[in-house]
Structure 1
Amino acid sequence: MTSDFDSHVRATVAWHFDPDTGSPFWLGKRAALDFDPVREVRTAADLARFPDVSEELRTVPVADLIPRGLRDKPFRVYESGGTTGAPKRIVDAEARGRMLLWARERLTELGVPAAGDWLHLGPSGPHVVGSDVARHAAMGGGLFHTVDFDPRWVKRLVGNGRGDLADEYIGHLLDQAETVLRSQDISVLNTTPPVLEAICARPDLYELVRGQVKAVIWGGMSAGQETVRLLEEEFFPQATVAGVYGNSLMGVAPQRPAHPGDSHRCVFQAHPATTRVQLVDDDGREVAYGERGRVLLHLVTDEMFLPNVLERDTAIRVPPAPGATTDGIADIRTVRSMGQARIVEGVY
């Protein structure tokens, strides 16, 4: 039986390899493929036949990524955090916005306020997360407050053994956050687990958050089950605490509502209309439910086609929620190295 996603795969592959609609990037790769993508890619499983092109996103001219069929759309360029080397670049016009509308519904189901102002303590600039959070706030008619945040600088400090300067930089971020919280009515705080830990270590700032914030959204870095429990039960019991997994390439995978039988406090679900996340072993085979595997991403949209991308994270495979068609993933962990690159995490 053919699934809706299989049909979506066929249509999107045909789009990206049509000379009239495809991007110069993918059209230029067609001759080097040992299969005919339009004729032979019929299901989601066939996406495994494509090469992982994510390394090329560090150097490819971004104009080559824009499909010819969408040249009339205003595209923006976003960069990854550069954790594994030079940043990777993506382009986006409207596809990510559609994904965010879906993610907003999931977060609202968890208890995140549908309206209200947001404070984002995380990257902006070339990083897509700042734009994502701004759009979340705007969707509910809320105002978007942010603090300048350069995660690459913190990672450089940590990688060079300058943890003292990294701590000083975090303090600088928290000073600015405190200024916002003392004068503005903030309903939603979006940041990372290390920054939340730093907030909890500053009594005055912590009390400001406890006193007014109705939802705390964490992401950007992994958090173990005990950390999630502490955030939910000990540090912010007055607020909804929700996690979001994702990055520039895959988009966002919000925490799904808990279901009977879930053994993990936080289970993420990727956007079912455009994204498949598989967890695979060292031989590329999908692991069984309950087992840990490496994150393998397939992003299938009319704007960006990124099949077979092996990510830097591992996770545990969780069965779909009742009524859902895609697996959940839980207990995200970052591998320590990829090839020759040593992975350094700072606060994002």
Structure 2
Amino acid sequence: MPAKTFLRALLIAPSAAFSSRWADTALLLFRLHLGLSIAIGAGWAKLVGLYTATEAAKLAGAVPAPPDWFVQQVAGLGFTQPSPYLWAWLACWGEFAGGLLLALGLLTRWSALQLAFQFFVVAFLWYEAPEPLLGMYYQQLLFWSFGLVAVLGSGRYSLDHWLSQKRLPRVPRVALAGALLLALLTAPVAAQAPATVAMRELAGLARPWQGSLTYLDYQTKRPVTLPTVLNGMQSAPRELVLDFIYQEPEGGQVKGYDKLQLSADGRRIIWDGTPMQVISRQREADRTLVLVLEGPGQDDNRACLIRRTLRLGTRQLSVVKEVKYADSAAFLTRNTYRFTQGAPSAATGADIKSAK
């Protein structure tokens, strides 16, 4: 059978019924379990952060969005272009909407095919020691299950089969399927349009600032505050260098710097070597820029999701760095810079040591 004919039969042809109604009933029960379990237990659970039945109160006022740990996991698999957040959205909504469509038996083959792709990635790329065919882990079982439904179709007891019996013209039916699929794929993108920032908005960093750094000492578990001077400068058309001078309690000074590189589309900033996505950008009433960045990185020699929140006003500047480890449920504040605009101070000779 030519490949074109096979794909047409797989994705467009109406769903046929089995010769036995018992077989169709078994397929219906299989579809209901497979579709509803993945829609509610995986897709919707991720979107609203619902992990147990006792957390049902979260559903009130919940804003569906992929959790940070899942975004980090997606980024770790290499799905970073144009954004790991976008891929996480598509995966979550693919599980939720695709599972519901699978249970209803509507666009069954399309839904099963995209879910099979998702679990192919999970079963054979994400899984630490994949064992094709022989491995007894549920991710691989789900991959083969979705693949089976993609080939078999939905059976007699499904909306696909009912629509096929209505003798609808082929072109409108295909157009309807395409429109529904397009709506499914574009809904999460429209709901989470990528935020961007322009270099001119960050130009205020390229000035002298005076203030402090407060950081969490991991040994004592106590916050430490150091007087700090920041001298910012623009070193390239889309690059900023932030020079810091820290005043130590013993009287010496420590010098460090961060380099910020803005992508051409304004969606990403490489901050001190860590690629970070622009998650949100807002302007407050006093024109203060509030920028939230997130990206996978390292902290305390551990993999984590890093979040930086920058607030840049005409005379006030703050940068908060938070980290979230894979085994943590919430972000931990790592350090906070607070500055007001001021003149740079001099630092000389042996008092200055290189630090990060």
TM-score (norm 1): 0.23
Larger radius of gyration: 2
Structure 2 length normalisation: TM-score? 0.23
Which structure has more RCO (C-alpha within 8 Å, separation ≥ 6)?
Answer: 1
Which of the pair is proportionally richer in strand? 2
